[in-house]
Amino acid sequence: MTPFHADTTPVHRLTKALPALIQAVVCVSIILFISGCNETASPEQPIATPPTAKQQPYTVGPTGSPRTDEYYWIRDDTRRNPQVLSLLAAENDFAEAIMAPSQPLQAQLFEEITARLPAKDDTVPVQLGNFFYYQAYEPGLEHPIYKRFSPESPEVRETVLDVNQLAEPHDYYAVANWVIGPNDNLIAYAEDTVSRRIYTIKFKTLRDGRHFADTLEGAAPSIAWSADGRSVFYIKKDPETLLESAVYRHTLGTPQAQDTLVYREPDKTFSLWLETSRSKAFILIYAYSTDSSEIRYIPTETPTAAPIPFLKRQDEHEYRVRHLGDQLYFLSNHHAPNYRLMRANLQEASDITRWQPVINPEPGVYLEDFEVFEGFIVTKEIRFGRPSLRVYGLDGTYRQSVPVLDQPATLNLEANPDPQAMSVRYGLSSLKTPTSTLSFNPTTGQTTTLKRARVGGGFDANNYESMSITFTARDGAEVPISLVYRPDRSANVPRPAYLYAYGAYGYSTKPYFRSSIISLLDRGFVFAIIHVRGGQELGRAWYEAGRLFHKRNTFNDFIDGAQHLVAAGLADPQNIFAAGGSAGGLLMGVIANEAPEIFRGIIARVPFVDVITTMLDESIPLTTSEYREWGDPRQPDEYDYMLSYSPYDQVKAQAYPHMMVTTGLFDSQVQYFEPVKWVSRLRRLKTDGNDLILTIDMTAGHSGPSGRYERYQETAMEYAFILDRLVPTASTVNTKNSR
């Protein structure tokens, strides 16, 4: 299981790791693909000749607006089509050939990135029931080991789950969630062996390690126990769309076929999640869409009861709940675009007019999260782009703020399962400061550092400088950028730049510590996060200004931000590299089409690039639940707007930057065929001689490899791709091999 003796070339690993059945198909299919397609290179041609996918016109689109998709045939839901698999193998072979000269650099990067990870590491224990639980990493092992100890015998450490042992028979393995039963002896855990985010829930006893025969297939990872420990609630995924659509109750010791349907979500724009309330009084069933939510509850003491909504769903109303004593606390955007904290008892919860306001943040302040204790409330607030933790009395009276010395920073409320606790636990990180777990006592005002992440490889935070700046976008919006660099490298000259953004779903891209980026900073780069519209860095309005008919703001912000960094002398105009994944990969596709001259290279990870075709197909996972994010292409005006930026549809005959594109064969979020089709069309139409490579992980999905070390093989390959394509300038002297 040790990663250090493995081949550090990701593409080679990807092709070697093909499951045996697919390997056999590929061996035969390469011959079929080459002989059956006139446009494909012959076996005698150099391996560095890029693959050429055949064109097979196919009409797709709403009535009255047909589109021709010449690469539609690349979609294969079985993932066994010989011609498709041979094309993927050819792409991996081509990428490996292009990257072969950089293998020594990849190996160097991989070694230095993984050297920053502590060989042995533990998280801060959290008390759940009668035990303290924590996660441990052992030297050379890829996966965590979950352990526990009792406060009476802290020296006795008991293994809860050894993910390394569970992963042994599998090319891919991940445990997405585990929940301890009420008697401290049973554990239910959700495992994924395909990387398709379709989970199997298994059970075992902790005293003797015995696994139950019970196996729940086709599930989401959320799990909740009844109070007596005899029943487990879980969610079944739709086998085609993979939507979390139905909650079931399973009785231990019975077959899954006998499980009871508890709730089925009728609206395909909603997905489900479930959990046990912090108070252990309720099983909570969350139904959520892009801009509305509903929470149903079942008392854990009466698991056969029908679920009842706290408050029925309303258009554009989102809420979350905490239970304490006889009160329910709701984080709600009802008449509060940036959210406020409300309170009601259970009998009054179904009538929103009976909810009482507790905390109403001042205008411009976004109330992102909260936790309720018996003696106080803690909120996480975003105040003009900067996070803060604030302490209030239970009546909503402001008391104090948790001191934060490092800015721009990332703050997160961590696990705080005990409502009687006198302190609140939180996490703090910045672009140059490793993550710390801290505890703040509102009574004494004392902050205690419980753990600060250790970073090896000679890292010294004092060598780096971080800052937050703003620029004026083309429509007048003030857009923030968080950046970090090493002042003693390439001082007084513009630096090569690695720019990152996401900008969708209201997900805020936070300036937290990324140990791998040190490899670029130490080579003179500046790393910058452009906080484009579509996230919630500046509140709910920032999200609204980057979705549906405002989506183009996301793309314009990134382009304008790159130009600002150049104009400000912070970035070398000849060496601007951009990276983004998933919805951020959509952003990469748009800037490649609309501003290719700005960027030296683009990294598009699992990119969502075929917007129209995907959003027209309700059988594809996530489609129906995202109409309110991207638009519904069945509506003519929404179709036209989405088409105007869809990267696959807007590929044109022009010069493109160097590009590295990644995908996974089993990706359930962005299907593999989107980036493969996109690259095929780019190869055919682009007019430049720049490199375009596509790597397909044949054993993984949207999140890539599951191992602690192996995930950095792709990072090392990406950085080598960038470093080998730097334009020689005064700012790039010795960038490839300096540490």
- Cα separations in angstroms, 210 against 161, 204, 205, 206: 12, 5, 5, 7
Of the candidates 636, 641, 613, 616, the residue with the CA atom closest to the CA atom of residue 627: 616
Decide: helix, strand or coil at residue 94.
helix
Residue showing tokens 């314009």 = 556
Beta bridge partner(s), residue 400: 391
Decide: helix, strand or coil at residue 11.
helix
Eight-class DSSP state of 346:
G
Phi/psi of residue 533, nearest 5 degrees: -65, 145
Helix (H) / strand (E) containing 274: strand 271-276
4 within 8 A of 140, measured Cβ to Cβ = yes
Which residue out of 231, 582, 646, 731 is catalytically annotated? 582
Residue 211 known to be catalytic: no
How is residue 646 written in tokens? 């869809």
564 within 8 A of 471, measured Cβ to Cβ = yes
Residue 667 known to be catalytic: yes
Distance CA 591, CA 586 (A): 9
Question: Helices H, strands E: what count in the chain?
Answer: 14, 38
Kindly report the number of other CB atoms within 10 A of residue 435's CB atom.
17
Q: Which residues contact 141 (CB under 8 A, 6 or more apart)?
A: 1, 2, 164, 708
571 within 8 A of 562, measured Cβ to Cβ = yes
287 within 8 A of 294, measured Cβ to Cβ = yes
Distance CA 434, CA 118 (A): 12
Furthest C-alpha separation in the chain: 78
Which residue out of 259, 702, 706, 731 is catalytically annotated? 702
Beta bridge partner(s), residue 401: 390
Distance CA 49, CA 371 (A): 57
Q: To 10 degrees, what angle do helices 103-115 and 711-723 make?
A: 130
Which residue out of 259, 667, 691, 697 is catalytically annotated? 667
Residue showing tokens 């077959």 = 255
Beta bridge partner(s), residue 468: 482
Distance CA 348, CA 354 (A): 6
Residue 582 known to be catalytic: yes
630 within 8 A of 552, measured Cβ to Cβ = no
What residues are annotated to the active site?
582, 667, 702
